[in-house]
Copies of this chain bind each other. A is one copy, B any other.
Amino acid sequence: MTQSPVVDLPKSVDVVNVGLPLFEQAVRDQGHAVIGVDWRIPAGGDTELVAALSRLSGPYAERVDAANAEVVRRLNEGVPLLVGVRTAGEAVPGMGGRTVLHSGPGITWDRMPDPLRRSVQATVVAEGWAPDVAAAAALVEAGEVELRPANEHRTVVPMATSIGPSAPVYEVRNEAAGLTTYSSLNQGSGQVPWFGVDSDEAIDRLRFVRDHLGPVLAEAVEAHGPVDVLALAAQGVPMGDDVHMRVQATTNLFLRDLLPYLVRSAHPSAADAATFLSANHLMFLNVAMAAAKSLTEWAGEVAESSIVTTMARNGTDYGIRLAGAGRDWFLAPSPPIQDALYYPGYGPETSAPDIGDSAVLELIGLGGPAAANSPAVAGFLGGRMADAIAATRSMQRICVGESPRFRLPILDNVGTPVGVDVRRVVESGVTPAVNTGIVHVSDGVGQVGAGVAWAPVECFAAALLDLDRRLAGGTRTAG
């Protein structure tokens, strides 16, 4: 079997209960001290999974562990640099013609959830391919627009973001890997397509990002020179950012770096871009995502690993990919967001399932793994830092390494957990905690809340079985 999860034991104790919490509570109710160990039957007792787990943690363990060590090295040692801002059409491979990139695994128009459809419609109108959203929908239905998962174009986009060829993207270079990755520019708050809104105002926001924000940022980044993205993120974590749900501190560090170049800019849109930047505390989210993607793409080239290097949702499907599994996705239905705070008047019944590529951050030690030090994330988990620490602890159970750059002061500067191992996930039944926003399920009003979503275990189980078959020399099966 795989290694046991780490449990911190106190110095003395009356009762230790392993397994069902019912017994634990009974002891507690009688006024006795008790420690509950969250033990479950490995892999839920599924005999096929248990057999695969036994091989992957037994005869195949040495090969898998060696591969995993290299994956963790790449996730921890890559230095992604923001080198520019260009249009997706110029920069991203395979963006010819009427291509639209979207979040999550590949999906056909008929299966796309409402927020993602609206986002695509807004993009088609902003690209000038259709005069309005109804015409945009017709154009897509007629097969005149190629819908592609951003993840398969070295690109990641948050929430329901979609991008056409004219959209500006961050270019992040991972020199050691010899590869460049991309992310869209953050669209800000309010009426915005990345939250599933396709109103005229939302479409205007795409035009603003393209015509004003993009060119000004391109000029500022060029004048500044390469930005060490994760050096900023490493400063942001002790400042309360998980650098996913909360990126306020890191956004501000980034803007202070760009300040001299923004002030020196002679671009006619500089002032409007500055007003937008001043009001958007999420600006750095997409920069961090592109950087994370540059690490996971590199790590994904390592064969025979049990570590997850893609984790993305299109609002219908939750998909993961393993390092060494090529382009094979392992899918499960996108889950609801479990621990959430909603805007007044909204709740679970008005919420779309989990959506977006931002979970790439959870794969490099940010987001859920960095929750422990984030008061803002704690606010979604009950309000106490102990709740946020529990989210990090759950990631520690399923990760094989830790980050040397993202450190948690509240846990005596331990590195955040890195390297989600499907063996640990399937054995424990604990899946990654992903900090995320929530958008309306159907009426296009945009964001209705935020919370923490736990990934569905089924895609991890499928990936584990596929890895087991590959190591046995068997046929590969995509999920």
Contacts and interface: CB of A to CB of B under 8 A. Distances in A.
A180 B313 CA distance: 54
Nearest to A413: B383
A253 B252 CA distance: 7
B239 A256 contact: no
A414 to B, nearest CB: 12
Copies, count: 2
Given A252-B253, A385-B410, A260 B278 contact: yes
Nearest to A407: B375
B248 A274 contact: no
A278 B265 contact: no
Interface in A61-79: none
A259 B278 contact: yes
A222 interface: no
A255 B252 contact: yes
The residue among A238, A256, A271, A383 with the most chain B CB atoms within 10 A of its own CB is A256
A384 B407 CA distance: 12
A371 interface: no
Interface in A84-102: none
A169 interface: no
Given A239-B240, A259-B262, A260-B271, 14 more contacts: A238-B375, A238-B376, A239-B239, A239-B249, A240-B240, A249-B252, A252-B256, A255-B255, A255-B256, A259-B274, A262-B262, A263-B265, A264-B271, A384-B412
Nearest first, the 4 closest Cβ-Cβ pairs linking A and B are: A252-B252, A375-B409, A263-B274, A238-B375
Interface of A: 238-240, 248-249, 251-253, 255-257, 259-260, 262-265, 270-271, 273-275, 277-278, 375-376, 378, 383-385, 409-410, 412-413
11 contacts: A238-B375, A239-B240, A239-B249, A252-B255, A259-B277, A260-B278, A262-B274, A263-B274, A264-B271, A384-B412, A385-B412
